[in-house]
Structure 1
Amino acid sequence: MLQSIQEDKLLHLVVHLAFVCSLRAGEIAGIDIRTIDVRDRCLWITRQVQRVSDTALSVLPKNEIIRVFPKLIHTSKSSLILKGPKTEDSHRKQYLTVPLIREIQERLAEIEANKRFFGSEYHDYGLLICQPDGRPIDPKNLESAFREHQARISIPYEERVDIQGLRKSGQMHKVRLSKNDYQLVAESAGQSPEVLMSNYNEALDSEKRALSRMVEGSFYPQQESEQAQTDEVSELVARLQQNPDLQRQLLQNLLLGAVGAEASTQCKDISRLAGFVS
């Protein structure tokens, strides 16, 4: 996947960070360049960028807010803010791979060039992931850019992942590399071992389902496999004809576009995801 994003350096870095460091989109958008230690090949996760409504902003404890960024559209009813990590455990040190630290160094050089170009028009908030003039990037825009890239390179819709999916796949890869050291991997990702184990079991179930499909495709003659699918469809039609309530529920779900859309981005084949950024 990383090789396919060479034309978009910023998105390339975002994907690289999400997988290797198991970062949330808001954490990526909030990385402080002053916490990056090139010699020690590490950085600290100390803050995140988040969009909140004006109503929510008015009740947020002031000590949780580091900065409220100026609105680009004055009539907007929400603002981007810089705040502390999601939890105390989310405040953490991340060690970086050699390729990732090199990419970060290139990004830092690009930021310095942008500062010279924009001069006094540059908004220096100390952000690693930012617009050319230094202004913050909405984490949702990072998600949108990643989804659009996957569509461009013709990844099937049901196989696409969001940045949270990259974070999870990075965690699962580390679990296997560490021979199931959940405590170590959880601390690296800034979450509890219980949450990590839940994510792992969820992903493992997806792997089992994928394995079952592979067995079906390789073991049974094609005609039997097609007949099995036909039988399943016939059974479903019969159930719908006998159950008006089920018909209405299915129609409502189809109209809302809710059938499996969100779940498909959370549970993916881990071996495919582990190679997602190779």
Structure 2
Amino acid sequence: MWAALASMEDPILHLAVHLTLVGALREGKVAGLTPEDLDFEGADGTGTFRINKCMQRVQKASLAKTGKGCILQEFEDKREGSTTTLVLKKTKTASSNRTIFMTAVLKEELKHWLKRLEMDEAVEPERYRNSGMLLRLPNGLAVEPILIRKKFIKWQDEHPEFTRIVFHGLRHSSATYQLMISGGDVKAVQGTTGHASANLLVNTYAHIQQDSRKKLGKKFEEGFYKSGTTPVQAAPVEAEPTISVSALLELLKDADPSVKAQLRLALLT
């Protein structure tokens, strides 16, 4: 994953993917971040960012019917005759609201990105339209989820050496990797991914458990059946039935003369 990220030259795509891999985010949550969500001194200087909003393009007709109770911001749309609008809204569930710990590398990238936003605005302040979002175009407009996906597809076309996946697959890759390196600490990973329950996370990534169990079984086999240990005991072979001489003579006493003759012959041969 790191090699793929390092090959992304588009600064918007690079930051979007980096945030996604660290936080196991959906593209709507990445696009919904604002500078106010960043806390570089959080967690004793580790740095954190909050997930509490989501950006989405919705049908205007549906928005009119359902109302704007969950809408935090509606972005200006100059496309004439458009039936959709870009909105910033609250997350659906309480579990979706969470705090993600930054990595040192991500922290530095975010600091440089904020300086870049200031420089973009300083170039042409009269034409700069500050959307208030973390991910912005050079003119200040918000970067919506579909643009992130398009940039990701373009990068994949230019880099066929990497496995082709949809952008949402990065969320699964992140969650999978975190489960692996944490030794299966479901609760810790759940805090990052925002799954409603630990069971949902476990069921979603059950294949990781299967792989882990296979590896555990292999380790058990290698450790339990060490060289020099007692081999598995073979089942005893059933012995041939035996009879004493005295018992044999007792049987011969009342035997038929022809049978006695056959037995004598068998004993002598």
Q: Same fold (TM over 0.5)?
A: yes
In the alignment, structure 1 residue 4 sits paired with structure 2 residue 7: yes
Higher relative contact order (Cα pairs below 8 Å, separated by 6+ residues): 1
CA distance in 2, matches of 1:102, 1:136: 22
In the alignment, structure 1 residue 171 sits paired with structure 2 residue 179: no
Deviation at 1:141, TM superposition (A): 1.6
Bigger mean CA deviation after superposition, 136-145 or 194-203: 194-203
Q: Which amino acid aligns with 1:180?
A: G
Q: For residue 196 of structure 1, what is the aligned residue in structure 2?
A: 201
Q: Which amino acid aligns with 1:193?
A: A
Correspondence list, 1:56-95, <5 A = 56-95=62-101
In the alignment, structure 1 residue 130 sits paired with structure 2 residue 136: yes
In the alignment, structure 1 residue 161 sits paired with structure 2 residue 154: no
Check whether the contact 2:130–2:140 (CA below 8 A) recurs between aligned residues: yes
SS of equivalent to 1:120: coil
Q: For residue 110 of structure 2, what is the aligned residue in structure 1?
A: 104
Unmatched tracts of structure 1, length 5 or more: 209-278
In the alignment, structure 1 residue 183 sits paired with structure 2 residue 183: no
Correspondence list, 1:3-42, <5 A = 3-5=6-8, 7-40=9-42, 41-42=47-48
Deviation at 1:47, TM superposition (A): 0.8
The 4+ residue runs of structure 1 with deviation greater than 3 A are 202-208
CA distance in 2, matches of 1:115, 1:58: 34
Q: Select which of 119, 125, 128 maps to 2:125.
A: 119
Bigger mean CA deviation after superposition, 171-180 or 116-125: 116-125
SS of equivalent to 1:161: coil
Deviation at 1:206, TM superposition (A): 9.7
Check whether the contact 1:27–1:48 (CA below 8 A) recurs between aligned residues: yes
> Can you list the C-alpha shifts for 1:189-221, whole angstroms capped at 9, x where unaligned?
11132222222125677999xxxxxxxxxxxxx
Q: For residue 150 of structure 1, what is the aligned residue in structure 2?
A: 156
* Number of aligned positions between the proteins: 205
Check whether the contact 1:34–1:126 (CA below 8 A) recurs between aligned residues: no
Compare CA radii of gyration and give the structure with the larger one.
2
Q: Select which of 59, 65, 72 maps to 1:53.
A: 59
Q: Which amino acid aligns with 2:37?
A: T
SS of equivalent to 2:205: helix
SS of equivalent to 2:39: coil
Check whether the contact 2:180–2:208 (CA below 8 A) recurs between aligned residues: no
CA distance in 1, matches of 2:40, 2:117: 16
> Can you list the C-alpha shifts for 1:55-98, whole angstroms capped at 9, x where unaligned?
12112342200011111302111010000123211111111000
CA distance in 1, matches of 2:212, 2:183: 18
> Can you list the C-alpha shifts for 1:136-177, whole angstroms capped at 9, x where unaligned?
122012112112211211147xx3122221111111111122
CA distance in 2, matches of 1:155, 1:202: 25
Check 1:137–1:179 CA distance in 2 against 1; reply closer, same or farther (3 A cut).
same
CA distance in 2, matches of 1:45, 1:15: 15
Check whether the contact 1:18–1:163 (CA below 8 A) recurs between aligned residues: no
Q: Which amino acid aligns with 1:3?
A: A
Q: Which amino acid aligns with 2:203?
A: S
Q: Which amino acid aligns with 1:176?
A: M
Query: Percent of aligned pairs with the same residue?
Result: 28
Deviation at 1:135, TM superposition (A): 1.1
**TM-score (norm: length of structure 1):** 0.69
Check 1:44–1:103 CA distance in 2 against 1; reply closer, same or farther (3 A cut).
same
Structure with the higher helix share, 1 or 2? 1
